[in-house]
Amino acid sequence: MEKVDIIIIGAGIAGITSAYYLQKKFPKLNYKIIESRSDLGGTWDQMTFPGVRSDSDMYTYGFSFNPWKGKIIGEGKDIKKYLVDTAEKFDIKKRILFNTQVNSLNWSDNQWTIKTDGKDFTSDHVICCTGSRDYKAPNFPKFEGENLYKGKIIHTQSWGNEDFKNKHVAIVGSGCTAVTMAPAVIKEAKSVTLIQRSPAWIINVDSQEKSNRLYKTFETLIDYFHSRIFKKSYKKKIIAKYPYYNDTNVPSYNFWDQRPACSLDNDYFNSVNLDKVTIEHQGISNWEPTGVKLMNGKIINSDLTIMATGLNAQLLGGMSIFIDNNKVNINETSWYRGMMFSGVPNLFAHTGYINFSWTARCEIVSERICKTIDYMNKKNFISCTPKYLGKKSKPAIEANYVLRSMDKFPNRSYKFNNANYLAEYISFKWTRINDRALNFK
Ligand SMILES: Cc1cc2nc3c(=O)[nH]c(=O)nc-3n(C[C@H](O)[C@H](O)[C@H](O)COP(=O)(O)OP(=O)(O)OC[C@H]3O[C@@H](n4cnc5c(N)ncnc54)[C@H](O)[C@@H]3O)c2cc1C
């Protein structure tokens, strides 16, 4: 068993950010990143569906320590390259152990034992950068008669090299993924039916827009607060701005309850107006040999059905966590600052925002983790454990994918404001590490 100071699990945006801040603060630190995939990038290594790109502006989605130099919205393959380049530039890539799945973590004798499907490790701290979704099982709604369908069904999370040229295609789903991929599929397919049971908010972004990180931070957050305070008038403003919205496709939820999907240079708005495109605002009843049957009885004939139905939330990469060999039920913990769990020592975990760039939160959390470890080193503390604050019913994040999986999340969060980057920025940067919510030993 190899001993290292810190283990990072996951080599996506959070893993790279954690590594950057750790080695900046502790240049002599012996750390390792364990990654189950064969390459780095996480989401941006896995997601290869047509048209895949960011929804956030890249000024805030890029790292502050290696600013993005491309256009405001990044294409998937360019984001992946940017992550690889960043990891190479800061000598992070050589620390990654690829093709290794972490199965469990056990805290005992003041250290973590990390069990993988290869070599095992021990470390003083573990930082989970495992993302927010189940990599193996996306949200794949099941309907009766799936085996009758003579066409092909594919989920965007496991896109291979699917050919849709001159095919009749159905895209199920209305979120960011469906909106992003639709124009690319429409371009080449013979016909496309978009099956959107519940429409999503879509806004346009001008690909030529030039801006900077500070401006975009304030613009996005002011826009967010405006939409939360003046919910009705904000909705009206969006509906008035885009002729696309009509009686059938105004979302039932408020703007920014979920990250709005973006149409780039009106690509979505223009392509759905083509004759070969139909939009159905209906749920699915069942599969038929030629396609799906909608709740209103209409059958959507297709050669290929693309499920753009989103993700299944998963914290901590599906790993089992043990304290002295006793399994921890994360649903019975409190979530401290959205980065630690009550009763679980020296385990940090990243999560992001739905209303702001994920990377921005990774950076402030990484800095806070470094400060916490530094504080512990200076005071000779071995462990740091958040206190349990008792149960509360409100979920920490109210996105659909979290509401679907509430039992996998802590039942209460504290000192955590997932909807407010500015509040967290101030709190993470300028409040005491020993903030009475942590027990140090
Ligand atoms: C299509 C798409 C577009 C998106 N666009 C945006 C956007 O514009 N703005 C935004 O803020 N967010 C966006 N997101 C959310 C996105 O997931 C995050 O922004 C970010 O990429 C997450 O980074 P991460 O490093 O935390 O996790 P991930 O990218 O999910 O990486 C986690 C890594 O951990 C590894 N891992 C997991 N479990 C284990 C284990 N047990 N053992 C070993 N390795 C493990 C995985 O293999 C993976 O490489 C988008 C998501 C998708 C799917």
In the structure encoding, which two tokens stand for residue 319, read together?
A: 């790993």
Residue 49 is predicted with a pLDDT of 96
Q: Tell me the three state secondary structure of residue 207.
A: coil
Residue 400 is predicted with a pLDDT of 64
Cβ atoms of 74 and 205 within 8 Å: the answer is no
Same fold: 2-136+312-440 with 146-307: yes
Residue 398 is predicted with a pLDDT of 60
CATH architecture assigned to 146-307: 3-Layer(bba) Sandwich (3.50)
Residue 257 is predicted with a pLDDT of 81
Residue 128: C-alpha distances to residues 13, 48, 102, 413 (Å): 12, 24, 10, 18
Cα–Cα dist 70/93, whole Å? 22
Cα–ligand 1 centroid distance for 351 (angstroms): 9
Cβ atoms of 339 and 350 within 8 Å: the answer is yes
Task: Tell me the best of 60, 130, 158, 347 to mutate to test the pocket of ligand 1, counting ligand atoms within 8 Å of each CB and taking the most.
Answer: 130
Is the alpha carbon torsion for 80, 84, 90, 93 positive or negative? positive
Residue 258 is predicted with a pLDDT of 80
Q: What is the pTM of this model?
A: 0.94
Cα–ligand 1 centroid distance for 362 (angstroms): 11
- Across the chain, which has 441 residues, the per-10-residue mean pLDDT values are 97 98 97 98 96 95 96 96 98 98 97 97 98 89 95 93 94 94 97 94 94 91 88 91 90 85 95 96 96 97 96 90 96 91 97 90 97 98 90 60 71 74 92 93 96
Cα–Cα dist 57/121, whole Å? 38
DSSP 399: -
Q: What is the CA angle 237-268-183, rounded to 5? A: 170
User: Residue length, the chain?
Assistant: 441
* Domain range list for the chain: 2-136+312-440, 146-307
Cα–ligand 1 centroid distance for 43 (angstroms): 4
Nearest to 70 by CA among 207, 219, 217: 207
| Long-range CB contacts (within 8 A, 24+) of 173-177 | 173/307, 173/308, 173/309, 173/310, 174/198, 174/199, 174/200, 175/200, 175/258, 175/261, 175/308, 175/310, 176/55, 176/200, 176/259, 176/260, 176/261, 176/262, 177/49, 177/308, 177/310
Q: What residues does ligand 1 touch, defined as CB less than 6 Å away?
A: 9-15, 34-37, 42-43, 47, 52, 54-56, 61, 101-102, 129-131, 135, 177, 317-319, 350, 352, 357-358
Chain centroid to Cα 254, Å, comes to: 20
Residue 419 is predicted with a pLDDT of 72
Residue 72: CB atoms within 10 Å: 20
Out of 3.50.50.60, 3.40.190.10, 3.40.1350.10, 3.40.50.800, the CATH code matching 2-136+312-440 is 3.50.50.60
Cα–ligand 1 centroid distance for 316 (angstroms): 12
In the structure encoding, which two tokens stand for residue 168, read together?
A: 């009749």
Residue 389 is predicted with a pLDDT of 77
Counting beta carbons within 10 angstroms of the beta carbon of residue 225, is it exposed (0 to 12), middle (13 to 18) or buried (19 or more)? middle
Cα–Cα dist 136/132, whole Å? 12
